[in-house]
Structure 1
Amino acid sequence: MNTYPIKSKGIFFLVILKCNCSSSQISHQMSNILILYSIKVFQFSLFSTPPLILKVLCGKIIKTSFFVASPLCCPSRASILTGKYPHNHHVINNTLEGNCSSEAWQKTQEPETFPAILQKYGYYQTFFAGKYLNEYGNKQAGGVEHVPPGWDYWFALERNSKYYNYTLSVNGKAQRHGQNYSEDYLTDVLANVSIDFLQYKSNYRPFFMMVSTPAPHSPWTAAPQYEGQFTKVKAPRDPNFNVHGKDKHWLVRQAKTPMANSSVEYLDNAYRRRWRTLLSVDDLVEKVVKKLEVRGELENTYIIFTSDNGYHTGQFSMPLDKRQLYEFDIRVPLLVRGPDIKPNQTSSLLVANIDLGPTIVDMAGWDVNKTKMDGMSFLPIMVRNSTWRSDFLVEYEGEGHNVSDPACPILGPGVSECFPDCVCEDSYNNTYACVRTVSPAANLQYCEFDDNEVFVEVYNLTADPFQLTNIAKTIDQEVLEKMNHRLMMLQSCSGQSCRTPGTKV
């Protein structure tokens, strides 16, 4: 493990930067690689987007339809790192028992992550700072002493998101922080160690850099100077806001409609607090960008902005959470800026978070086909016309409690994530798999639940972008059969077989 001077005690940056290496081991031009990765971002309107993110990306940008393979933190992050669907990396939830940073994950999956590939085959110096996986640092799985393979410089948050009173693993040694803003506010700490890395890294080897802040995850603790921002902002009132999901799975149908005024006030306040935390992420972006600019590296740098999953705030009368199959939980931003990318592109191609790893490996000059990844590199579609998939898979395994939730005893055991007014966001039988497809003929989502009903939801996203009407009972039976067949194929795919063209509907 390497060390370098440090001046200071759930956004990932992938900075990809073209450079020439003088080492005799490298005979071709290589790229350094950076991602801007924020936690739980779905709504991405101009008023709520931190201005520096827009400024950095403005003018040289590709926007595409970007989705997550699972709408939950740890399975989604595992898909990013491995380039695999959940049924192949086996992380099913945010617990150690669900394989989140477990010993089994460390043994079987971490050696195959794209950072490990970059370091092993690409001559890269690698840097990580921020939230890794929800159970990272658990003493039952090696504690903070465990540093995953592939990382030279490691500054990882122990367990889940915090802003104060947390512990970092600094190259395998615990570094504890308190609640002094100037020394301990996590987003600022991550900004400072990132700047230090850029200052002290080797100039003779390419680098890969990943920075993941907790914002805008709960507890939504803003920096003191931003606590008064967004006072009049409310959560978006989309057509599916505070309406009953009458034709949906029972878990969504049980939500009380209209929501209680207290629930609406709570989610509006949470929405404001989330965006306040992102203002410090904006400061982080500014510092990193200025550092790259001073070093003369900015114009040769690719910057990718995305998120690990979406987040609902009142849609179908569900107050706050993720975990659901709908667009607001599975669709996230993807913005890419870079020297080889034609500016101001907008693509409707279906890109998923399983494609980030293959894309980064491709950018580093390594053959994706030599990996076990399920995803595809989207680098070709950013720089030239190229063929692409027409569908992808979403998987989620529901969680519940074996006893009744005190907030909602009427629903009995088997539910979880319940609000005081008896709206539960998850259950054991909230287990589903979906195939999402885009073609000239149809823009569809087909989902099957693993429950006693074998409940099916189908949406035509072209005619019904807010998924108000489940058309499972009215759509052509032949289309249903094709979608069902494709779903079964994707649920059993691995590697190359996951990249085959989708079915025509």
Structure 2
Amino acid sequence: MSARTAPARTLLATALTMLLALTVAACSGSAQAGELSDTATTATATATGSATEATQDTSRPNIVFVLTDDLSMNLLPYLPTVQRMQDEGTAFAQNFTTDSLCCPSRASIFTGRYPHSTGIYRNSGPQGGFKTFMKKGLDSDTFGTDLQAAGYKTAMMGKLLNQYEPDGQTPAGWDEWALAGMAYKQYDYTLNQNGTTVKYGSDPEDYMTDVIGARGRDFVARKAAANEPFMLEVATFTPHKPYPVAPRHQGLFKNLKAPRTAAYDTMPSPAPAWMAKHQLTRAEIKRMDRDFRKRVQGVQAVDDLVRGLWEQIRASGIEDNTYLVFSSDNGYHMGEYALLSGKMTAYDTDVHVPLVVVGPDVAKHRTVNALTSNIDLRATFGEIAGQPTPEISDGQSLAALWSTTKKSSPVTDRDLVLIEHRGPDLIVGGDPDYEGFRSANPPGYDALRSRDFLYIEYLHGETEYYDLRTDPDELHNIAGTLSKKRLAGLSAKLHEVATCTGHVQCAKAQQL
């Protein structure tokens, strides 16, 4: 049973009904009665249109950022609201993560810096995790602190960084928060809600994706009614393993199987040494098909969350002054390259991630083919808020690429993005992303991804090279056919990008 009381649930359901009039009943369990009672009047005023009549400060548009966990590109067809965002806004077709692992990727998103700049390469230990992030003082220099300095009210809901504990320290940059630790099961977790720890149970309304979605909508309603510019990040644990599904979505997509792409159950040739020769067994295929269905079922709650936030933005009368941004920290493979479910490779299955935006001045039906990266989000959010790109940021603002008014962007000159990874991961206990070698647990590498090729250089010296013009599935490793001069040039360019610091130097390094 839930640790919260029945009256709290009743009050919450009533407040959310007034707030959105949504039909998804399971989205009604989000917070303590004491917190929501202060916002019930605001919710009612919003629903009746008083927030719509408020004069919005258009010089500082609002930002709502939804970040998912392990959401691969092959899940996008099952997210109708995100598809509608693509139709009504702009999608970035060549968007990549700096490291296909939760903590390094999120550190890059927060700071706008590559892993070699943050020093965050892992989920725990001296090279990663929340403890190292805080020890390095990285929390004091993020898009959260940028927007606070610009006069924004900021909020962070859901997953922060690996190793975060709800009863511990909360990083700088946030005026409000509802943060969880190990909440991958979506039930029986604890949220740190603005400094108070609240336990959630195992009832349907405790499903965490719904809880943080409801809290996010409440934040949007209150800030819109108060006419305060705001930045909200809602970071789901969905669809991370063990792939828990909201009760209302169980049983959907019964006959769905993991996509049988050209790379499915097929190893690269020649394969890197770490990738032991193997063909998938029937039992492994059956298990991954089941898990893929669970991932698709699970992201239905993500779609509900995005739709609910979008509807709240409209109900609050701030649609013409609010950006809604959707992305993922990394991708995921399930059977590709004959690997069991996992991530951490430099292949597109793991590093190619969605980025979709709707909002004021965002072009409709636009697909951007410029190479972009999660290091660009900090500078992008800063430009929206009227802030210059911090010198320390390795990324560039993407705003001009979606805008109907801005004419150019330095990102259009980027020829390369960098992918960095340090492995193998040998921490068996406590790391939710630990994978056996059959799932993909590669040794450390740096990689360059261009529009035309993928070049991987392992720290022990082995290389891979894929010509994406003729081999988009990244199956034919032709590194052995390249001239010594070509390999030396690739290695030199990789070293240049892998040691760049700051957006000026990195922009130059990322040109061929």
- The normalised TM-score by structure 1 is 0.85
Q: 1:307 to 1:424 in 2, by over 3 A?
A: closer
Is the 2:465–2:477 contact (alpha carbons within 8 Å) kept by the matching residues of 1?
yes
- SS in structure 2 of the partner of residue 250 of structure 1: coil
Q: 1:479 to 1:20 in 2, by over 3 A?
A: farther
Give the C-alpha shift of residue 160 in structure 1: 5.1
> How many residues get paired?
455
Is the 2:70–2:331 contact (alpha carbons within 8 Å) kept by the matching residues of 1?
yes
Q: 1:269 to 1:372 in 2, by over 3 A?
A: same
Q: 1:104 to 1:482 in 2, by over 3 A?
A: same
Matched residue, 1:25: none
Q: 1:42 to 1:491 in 2, by over 3 A?
A: same
2:227 matches 1:204? yes
Give the C-alpha shift of residue 107 in structure 1: 4.4
Is the 1:86–1:92 contact (alpha carbons within 8 Å) kept by the matching residues of 2?
yes
Cα distance in 2 for partners of 1:190, 1:376 equals: 29
Is the 1:44–1:333 contact (alpha carbons within 8 Å) kept by the matching residues of 2?
no
Q: 1:45 to 1:189 in 2, by over 3 A?
A: closer
Cα distance in 2 for partners of 1:109, 1:100 equals: 12
Matched residue, 1:318: 339
2:459 matches 1:450? yes
Matched residue, 1:165: 188
Cα distance in 1 for partners of 2:467, 2:392 equals: 33
Give the C-alpha shift of residue 346 in structure 1: 1.8
Unaligned runs of 5+ in 2: 1-32, 39-51
Higher alpha-carbon deviation: 50-59 or 491-500? 50-59
Amino acid corresponding to residue 422 of structure 2 in structure 1:
E
2:137 matches 1:108? yes
- SS in structure 1 of the partner of residue 474 of structure 2: coil
2:271 matches 1:243? no
List per-residue Cα deviations over 1:212-245 (Å, max 9, x = no partner). Answer: 1111111211111211001111111110100133
Matched residue, 2:393: 373
Is the 2:188–2:202 contact (alpha carbons within 8 Å) kept by the matching residues of 1?
yes
Cα distance in 2 for partners of 1:276, 1:260 equals: 24
The 5 A counterparts of 1:9-408 are 29-44=59-74, 48-102=77-131, 105-119=134-148, 121-137=149-165, 144-159=167-182, 161-182=184-205, 184-201=206-223, 203-252=226-275, 254-257=276-279, 259-368=280-389, 370-383=390-403, 384-387=407-410, 388=412, 389-401=414-426
Cα distance in 2 for partners of 1:247, 1:344 equals: 40
Higher alpha-carbon deviation: 148-157 or 295-304? 295-304
Is the 2:120–2:133 contact (alpha carbons within 8 Å) kept by the matching residues of 1?
no
Q: 1:44 to 1:340 in 2, by over 3 A?
A: farther
Give the C-alpha shift of residue 205 in structure 1: 2.2
Give the C-alpha shift of residue 503 in structure 1: 4.5
Matched residue, 1:426: 441
Give the C-alpha shift of residue 279 in structure 1: 0.9
Identity rate of aligned residues, in percent?
30
List per-residue Cα deviations over 1:78-128 (Å, max 9, x = no partner). Answer: 000000000111111111443311155354211001101110x21000011
Is the 1:6–1:193 contact (alpha carbons within 8 Å) kept by the matching residues of 2?
no
- SS in structure 2 of the partner of residue 417 of structure 1: coil
Pick the aligned partner of 2:495 from 466, 488, 492: 488
List per-residue Cα deviations over 1:40-60 (Å, max 9, x = no partner). Answer: 1223366x4222222344232
Is the 2:313–2:319 contact (alpha carbons within 8 Å) kept by the matching residues of 1?
yes
Cα distance in 1 for partners of 2:454, 2:183 equals: 31
Matched residue, 1:474: 481
Give the C-alpha shift of residue 481 in structure 1: 2.2
Matched residue, 1:408: none
- SS in structure 2 of the partner of residue 296 of structure 1: coil
Give the C-alpha shift of residue 148 in structure 1: 1.0
Pick the aligned partner of 1:417 from 428, 435, 441: 435
Is the 1:482–1:503 contact (alpha carbons within 8 Å) kept by the matching residues of 2?
no
Is the 2:108–2:374 contact (alpha carbons within 8 Å) kept by the matching residues of 1?
yes
Give the C-alpha shift of residue 39 in structure 1: 1.3
2:510 matches 1:497? no
Amino acid corresponding to residue 264 of structure 1 in structure 2:
I
Cα distance in 1 for partners of 2:486, 2:426 equals: 37
Q: 1:483 to 1:111 in 2, by over 3 A?
A: same
Give the C-alpha shift of residue 435 in structure 1: 1.4
Higher helix share: 2
- SS in structure 1 of the partner of residue 140 of structure 2: helix
Unaligned runs of 5+ in 1: 9-16, 23-27, 138-142, 406-415
Cα distance in 2 for partners of 1:222, 1:475 equals: 47
Higher alpha-carbon deviation: 89-98 or 394-403? 394-403
Give the C-alpha shift of residue 363 in structure 1: 1.0
Is the 1:83–1:373 contact (alpha carbons within 8 Å) kept by the matching residues of 2?
yes
Matched residue, 2:15: none
Amino acid corresponding to residue 71 of structure 1 in structure 2:
S
Higher strand share: 1
Higher alpha-carbon deviation: 127-136 or 32-41? 32-41
Higher alpha-carbon deviation: 233-242 or 169-178? 169-178
Cα distance in 1 for partners of 2:176, 2:333 equals: 35
